[in-house]
Structure 1
Amino acid sequence: MENLSIKLTNIQHSFGTKELFSIDALSVYQGDRIGIIGSNGQGKSTLLKMIYGELTPDSGSIQKENDFHFFQQISEVDEEINYENIDWELMGRFFVPKNQVNTLSGGEKTKYRLTQVLSGYEAGLLLDEPTTHLDQKGIQTLIEELRYYYGTLLFVSHDRTFLNQLATKIWEVEAGKVKEYSGNYDEYCKQKELEKLENNRAAEQFVKEKTRLESAIAKKKAQAEKSKQVSIKKKQQHIRPDRLSSSKQKDTVQKNIQKTAKAMESRLLQLEEKKTLGIQRAITFPPSKTLELHNKFPIRGADFHLEKGGKCLFDHCDFQFGVGKCIAITGKNGAGKTSLLNSILTDEAGIILSPKVVFATYHQMAYKITGTQTVLTYLLQQTEYKEPLIRSILHNLGFSQLEMTKPIDRLSGGEATRVQIALLFTRPSNVLILDEPTNFIDLKTVEALEQLIISYQGTVIVTSHDRYFVERVADEIYTIENLRLQQR
């Protein structure tokens, strides 16, 4: 028999005027490993804080049968936390240098805080986006450490590799509800696809039944009206008494037809409406003759040497990026990925660019959108593409027709991020530069970004620690090792 770890009952919680949660009943059992996913702003972090006890729901109860450690996504390093019991061996495997905390990078601080949380054992563990800022080696080290954790694990993550390696259940947080799926992320996707197929079959059946009933009702009403007219005409004539019974029979037939029509109308009202879930179609970007690149390798490095802050990042290395390819650059934190992108953008010594290269860039969180024009108008003002294509890009990024008419100065942070991604693909360019584009965006946006990159006809250079994302979009993968770009 499974032992209960957490039980949520009749949870109601709002943020301002927005209802975040309405949960009837939800249970977690000892040994569960639950990955929590959902769009930005759905309340995933709030859910963890309520389970931990940092927040109290507006109503309902949370029953906990064991204590929990909690890794919060945004927090400063406190060196005093668990200092006596710190696992220095794990700190070493995370490659955190023994420097002053204020000198550590963002990724190193995340590793430091993770080590503090994992150094002391509790029967429950809550992790909120633990892979943010971690390089691939750091993510793999964390996965290996958590494989041997046998308590109850709940974690919020947008990293699909992390979800696949650790989750045995998925909680999908959407529209105030939490729905549980068995298995890891890939198995969740299969179940969601099956749900979509079943829903669309039900939607087709609904349309057929609705059409059939509406047609039958119309026919019955027409029959009833015809019978009524015949009956009125007969009554107006001088009919012998022995033939009145025939007229009465016709009145009865008319009433039965009307009764049948009303029964059908009742059935029509009781039909549960099902709407077809849309299938995301690939976007086709129209080719631009003015931006067409004829150079086979529009971006090259020749004896490229780069030093930053007295540290050598690249030592006289050569590389060449092919036209129309998606190039992924990976490497540990501090290896020089962002510095390489900046060198390409600024055409530094050792970088050779085709004269026709036109860049469009995406830097995570580097946006500020002001103005009162709608999302659609804002994008149309900055592109040569036609409105149908812009609508398609916005639709793929999760904007409804109504949301496209929302003023840009009223966008949430997540919505503004999606507009920034849309803007990247609407500006005339033949080379996209994307620096860690999957940080802080939800899975639906990540998957939409993947489709846009795959559809884009130019050259793409992207840095990312998200292994799943890289394998989905990249034609060529390079790792920064030994002050060189090494192709995998």
Structure 2
Amino acid sequence: MSLINVSNLTFGYDGSYDNIFEHVSFQIDTNWKLGFTGRNGRGKTTFLNLLLGKYEYSGTISSPISFEYFPFAVTNAESNTIDVIEGIYPDYLLWKVMRELSLLQVSEDVLYRPFDTLSNGEQTKVLLATLFLKENSFLLIDEPTNHLDMKARKIVGDYLRSKRGFILVSHDRAFLDNCVDHILSINKTNIEIQKGNFSSWWENKKMQDQFELAENEKLQKDITRLQSAAKRTAEWSDNVEKTKFGTKDSGLRPDRGYIGHKSAKMMKRSKGIEARQQTAIDDKSKLLKNIESAESLKISQLKFHADRLVELDKVSIFYDEKTVCEGVSFIIEQGDRVALYGKNGSGKSSLIKLICGEDINYTGTFRKASQLKISYVAQDTSHLSGNLTDYARENGIDESLFKTVLRKLDFSRVQFEKDMAAFSGGQKKKVLIAKSLCEKAHLHIWDEPLNFIDVISRMQIEELLLEYSPTILFVEHDSEFCKNIATKVFEL
């Protein structure tokens, strides 16, 4: 067993208003299978880069072993896969490569095909296999499940469960539960480590949140009561003090010493109440620091004049005479929440493009209701740049509503001033989802909307879809999300 020690770590980017990490200290056992979670933009990838020594920081990070980061940058993607592996790890042994690929259920013939002809899932598996060849390193695995279908996620999760010594960044609840034994979480005000999987961490977090909310409610009542008591006592003290001088009409000479003493006692009592009130306020300030804001989202979908919106009957799609999918039949009716399943490359995105109106070569029968308005969330976010105000104006959506949705999805106001090109992958995806929620449409079509998006935001989106029951067609590989949301499933 070896330990990675992080002590008094403080780091912030140049020009940033706030530090991402401030006086953070913890230890990591290099045998742990450590799941790393936290909301988008909190610094997960930044922390991995600090471990890799990419940035200067104050404090210390000490480790007896080296680190390796996934995903690798592949510069020779047109080369055969075996040459890509050699470029990443020149000292590889072929039998070990084949052993790892076998564990990941990848055929060894991929080694002799150009890397860029492999599917996203195959590329991910090959790079993971290469990563685990580096047996003397502690592995930093950053979101390996993006673009992996459900079956591939299960295979990769089982594979990781058989290994040890890694930090895994992922927002897929079922995937984390399958392969980690500790959770490292970046909270609003601290970093903490707990033994167990994601579900046990989430249950503990909910219990802690409920405790803090109950304590907060009790302290709020105490503060209100103490404020009233302090006000009454101060008023009594003032009234008593006024009687020291008597009244013109009474002709009596009051005992000023006694009255002054009584007034002072009451003032002292008032000060004591104020001190207790301040203590209660100080206690309250220690609470609620790590309770995540997850306000309810809203969607106002347009009502369509007919029940049936889309119909496909024995549809086959072709690219350059190559069949992408064939014999596809399904119907989307108003109120349906349709999950479109299928392994990588089975034609899900092509079907979505056909429904959205792109010029796609197909055979079979495809019908779409006339004047149907569709709001589309694409997989790709690379086109996002510029500021949010201009983006809202260009897309004809209400800027105030758009930014309100983003605030509910954990955007800080500082984020509104930044160029979208500098956003994290999850923040870019939230921009597309917020835009979609602001659009007036009869049908929402979301293609892998949850890639890079943090767990709490996923739960917010789940609650939105369950509460408002919009008509939606979606492709998503998060099994927990699909299980909770889909009313219909079509599998290719």
Q: Does 1:108 align with 2:122?
A: yes
Q: How does 1:37-76 map to 2 (within 5 A)?
A: 37-51=37-51, 53-55=52-54, 57-72=56-71, 75-76=74-75
Aligned to 1:265: 274
Alpha-carbon shift at residue 416 of structure 1 (Å): 4.5
Alpha-carbon shift at residue 13 of structure 1 (Å): 2.0
Task: Flag structure 2 segments of 5+ consecutive residues without an equivalent.
Answer: 78-83
Equivalent-residue separation in structure 1 for 2:116 and 2:445 (angstroms): 30
Identity %: 22
* TM-score for both structures, normalised by structure 2: 0.83
Equivalent-residue separation in structure 1 for 2:420 and 2:382 (angstroms): 18
Aligned to 2:458: 446
Q: Which among 343, 346, 349 is matched to residue 332 of structure 1?
A: 343
Q: Which among 92, 96, 100 is matched to residue 90 of structure 1?
A: 100
Q: Which among 401, 420, 425 is matched to residue 432 of structure 2?
A: 420
Residues 141 and 6 (structure 1), Cα distance of their counterparts in 2 relative to 1, 3 Å cut: same
Q: Does 1:362 align with 2:371?
A: no
Alpha-carbon shift at residue 409 of structure 1 (Å): 5.2
Residues 120 and 285 (structure 1), Cα distance of their counterparts in 2 relative to 1, 3 Å cut: closer
Equivalent-residue separation in structure 2 for 1:378 and 1:193 (angstroms): 39
Alpha-carbon shift at residue 45 of structure 1 (Å): 1.7
Alpha-carbon shift at residue 361 of structure 1 (Å): 0.5
Equivalent-residue separation in structure 1 for 2:28 and 2:292 (angstroms): 33
Check whether the contact 1:87–1:119 (CA below 8 A) recurs between aligned residues. Answer: yes
Deviations, residues 315-355 of structure 1 (Å, cap 9, x unaligned):
33422233311111122221111111112222755211122
Q: How does 1:471-486 map to 2 (within 5 A)?
A: 471-480=483-492
Tell me the secondary structure at the aligned position of residue 12 of structure 2: strand
Aligned to 1:124: 138
**Which residue identity does 1:130 align to in structure 2?**
P
Q: Which one is further off, 362-371 or 32-41?
A: 362-371
Deviations, residues 386-436 of structure 1 (Å, cap 9, x unaligned):
97x767644542346x569x4585785244532321111221111111111
Alpha-carbon shift at residue 359 of structure 1 (Å): 1.0
Check whether the contact 2:293–2:410 (CA below 8 A) recurs between aligned residues. Answer: no
Aligned to 1:166: 179
**Which residue identity does 2:12 align to in structure 1?**
S
Give the root-mean-square deviation of aligned CA atoms.
Answer: 3.2
Check whether the contact 1:143–1:162 (CA below 8 A) recurs between aligned residues. Answer: yes
**Which residue identity does 2:234 align to in structure 1?**
K
Aligned to 2:80: none
Equivalent-residue separation in structure 2 for 1:336 and 1:262 (angstroms): 73
Aligned to 2:325: 314
**Which residue identity does 2:85 align to in structure 1?**
E
Tell me the secondary structure at the aligned position of residue 298 of structure 1: strand
Check whether the contact 1:369–1:416 (CA below 8 A) recurs between aligned residues. Answer: no
Q: Does 1:79 align with 2:85?
A: yes
**Which residue identity does 1:5 align to in structure 2?**
L
Q: How does 1:4-403 map to 2 (within 5 A)?
A: 4-18=2-16, 19-51=19-51, 53-55=52-54, 57-72=56-71, 75-76=74-75, 78-80=84-86, 81=89, 82-85=91-94, 86-92=96-102, 93-95=105-107, 97=110, 98-122=112-136, 124-149=138-163, 151-175=164-188, 177-233=190-246, 246-271=255-280, 272=282, 273-274=284-285, 280=294, 282-283=296-297, 285-286=299-300, 288=302, 291-295=303-307, 297-346=308-357, 349=363, 350-364=365-379, 365=381, 367-368=383-384, 370=386, 373=389, 378=393, 382=397, 393-399=405-411, 402=413
Equivalent-residue separation in structure 1 for 2:299 and 2:31 (angstroms): 48
Alpha-carbon shift at residue 252 of structure 1 (Å): 0.8
Residues 424 and 130 (structure 1), Cα distance of their counterparts in 2 relative to 1, 3 Å cut: same
Check whether the contact 2:341–2:475 (CA below 8 A) recurs between aligned residues. Answer: yes
Alpha-carbon shift at residue 230 of structure 1 (Å): 0.9
**Which residue identity does 1:61 align to in structure 2?**
T
Check whether the contact 1:71–1:126 (CA below 8 A) recurs between aligned residues. Answer: yes
* TM-score for both structures, normalised by structure 1: 0.84
Residues 378 and 173 (structure 1), Cα distance of their counterparts in 2 relative to 1, 3 Å cut: farther
Residues 194 and 21 (structure 1), Cα distance of their counterparts in 2 relative to 1, 3 Å cut: same
Tell me the secondary structure at the aligned position of residue 41 of structure 1: coil
Task: Flag structure 1 segments of 5+ consecutive residues without an equivalent.
Answer: 481-488
* Count of equivalent residues: 463
Check whether the contact 1:6–1:64 (CA below 8 A) recurs between aligned residues. Answer: yes
Aligned to 1:485: none
Aligned to 1:469: 481
Check whether the contact 2:310–2:333 (CA below 8 A) recurs between aligned residues. Answer: yes
Residues 421 and 45 (structure 1), Cα distance of their counterparts in 2 relative to 1, 3 Å cut: same
Deviations, residues 195-217 of structure 1 (Å, cap 9, x unaligned):
22122112212211111111111
**Which residue identity does 1:368 align to in structure 2?**
L
Q: Which one is further off, 219-228 or 87-96?
A: 87-96
Equivalent-residue separation in structure 1 for 2:239 and 2:456 (angstroms): 56
Q: Does 1:436 align with 2:448?
A: yes
Check whether the contact 1:293–1:323 (CA below 8 A) recurs between aligned residues. Answer: no
